[in-house]
């Protein structure tokens, strides 16, 4: 299977888990790790629902995570199979509360009692720490890594939609991936709205136009305004959108991510123009779902040198937001000022 056709990493790990549960998940130490919280949370739910279903959870399941706890106590709980349940399932919800030496953990992983399961939720494993390194080495790892490009999340979004009986066309799934910046939780929320709006049962097709109609006026389109203003080279509209969104509590890094994603699309299209394509042809050749008109405008108002400078501006803004006390709104406004204003001139607004 080619890299292009392979399932995204988070969904691939979830499919592996489903297959393992169907075949019979082996006892021992299971570690859920990675920064794809959507699929990691689903994996945790599937494991608990299968190994400690609701009817048995009172006797079969023990959860740690609120207070500091020693490794030996967690392992002892996993080894103590009770008389009222066939299995013993222990969930450690937060690795940060775990203390002590990993010896007991290693012994449990090497030879777990029948029906004994220890599930550790560890989004980040620091190989410099003994406990973390031991989990990575001795546990059954299920890794849920996010895709590097939000557009790749379109496959995951289409799969989530299919579970609800929605069949997204390519433009709809691509738009939702970009508008949510690859945030699958946010995408799932928007799909819930579409599901309710369409109503009915069975498979329902969803076009880009329908998705835009549902999204209009909601939070999905909020960060879209800043990126559209960038494409239209409208500094006034960009600054107004940043101020309003900041006041409404929109996450600054989410807005920055939207601008970065659309900047990459512009750079791809600009490269096609540099190779001789017409602006309209270039805009139709990249994944500019829901913003093709604005992209075509950008291709005629920016130069290649200006667009090539965008990544450096974005990197500087990202570092400033994360490391300094300057209000993020000021950082974003300065970013738009540097990206939109032409050299030696002034931008609209």
The token duo for 22 is: 């169907």
Q: What is the fold, at CATH topology level, of the domain defined by 9-143? A: Rossmann fold (3.40.50)
Residue 83: band (very low, low, confident or very high) from pLDDT cuts 50, 70, 90: low
Which residue spans of the chain are classified as CATH 1.20.272.10? 222-340
Give the pLDDT score at 90.
Answer: 95
Give the pLDDT score at 345.
Answer: 54
Find the range with the poorest average confidence among 31-40, 88-97, 335-344: 335-344
Residue 2: band (very low, low, confident or very high) from pLDDT cuts 50, 70, 90: very low
Give the pLDDT score at 174.
Answer: 87
Residue 234: band (very low, low, confident or very high) from pLDDT cuts 50, 70, 90: very high
Q: Torsions phi, psi of 233, nearest 5?
A: 55, 45
- The span from the CA of 87 to the CA of 59, in Å, is 9
Nearest Cα residue to 181 out of 153, 210, 222: 153
| CATH classification number, 222-340, choose in 1.10.645.10, 1.10.3720.10, 3.30.70.260, 1.20.272.10 | 1.20.272.10
pTM over 0.85: no
- CA dihedral of residues 40, 46, 47, 52 (deg, nearest 10): 140
The token duo for 188 is: 């799932």
Which residue spans of the chain are classified as CATH 3.40.50.300? 9-143
Give the pLDDT score at 224.
Answer: 78
Residues paired with 42 in a beta bridge: none
Domain spanning 150-220, CATH class: mainly alpha
DSSP-derived 3-state class of residue 315:
helix
Res 269 pLDDT > 70: yes
Give the pLDDT score at 110.
Answer: 96
């Amino acid at each position: 299977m080619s890299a292009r056709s392979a399932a995204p990493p988070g969904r691939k790990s979830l499919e592996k888990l489903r297959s393992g549960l169907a075949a019979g998940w082996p006892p021992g130490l299971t570690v859920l790790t990675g920064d794809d919280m959507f699929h990691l949370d689903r994996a945790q739910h599937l494991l608990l629902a299968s190994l400690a279903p609701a009817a048995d959870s009172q006797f079969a399941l023990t959860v740690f995570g609120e207070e500091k706890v020693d490794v030996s106590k967690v392992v002892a709980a996993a080894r103590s199979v009770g008389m009222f349940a066939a299995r013993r399932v222990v969930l450690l919800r937060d690795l940060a509360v775990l203390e002590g030496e990993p010896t007991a953990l290693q012994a449990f992983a090497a030879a777990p009692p029948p029906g004994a399961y220890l599930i550790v939720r560890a989004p980040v494993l620091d190989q410099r720490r003994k406990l973390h390194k031991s989990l990575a080495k001795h546990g059954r790892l299920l890794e849920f890594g996010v895709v590097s490009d939000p557009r790749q999340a379109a496959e995951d979004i289409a799969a989530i939609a299919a579970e609800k009986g929605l069949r997204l066309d390519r433009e709809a799934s691509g738009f939702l991936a970009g508008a949510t910046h690859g945030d699958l939780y946010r995408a799932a929320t928007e799909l819930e709205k579409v599901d309710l709006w369409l109503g009915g049962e069975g498979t329902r097709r969803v076009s880009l136009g329908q998705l835009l109609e549902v999204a209009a006026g909601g939070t999905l389109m909020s960060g879209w305004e800043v990126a559209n203003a960038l494409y239209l080279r409208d500094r006034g509209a960009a600054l107004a959108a940043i101020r309003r969104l900041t006041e409404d509590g929109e996450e600054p890094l989410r807005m920055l991510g939207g601008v970065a994603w659309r900047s990459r699309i512009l750079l791809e299209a600009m490269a096609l123009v540099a190779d001789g394509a017409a602006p309209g042809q270039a805009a139709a050749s990249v994944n500019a779902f829901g913003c093709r008109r604005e992209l075509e405008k950008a291709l005629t108002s920016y130069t290649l040198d200006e667009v090539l400078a965008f990544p450096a501006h974005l990197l500087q803004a990202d570092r400033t937001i994360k490391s300094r006390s300057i209000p993020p709104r000021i950082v974003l406004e300065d970013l738009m000022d540097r990206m939109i204003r032409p050299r030696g001139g002034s931008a609209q607004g």
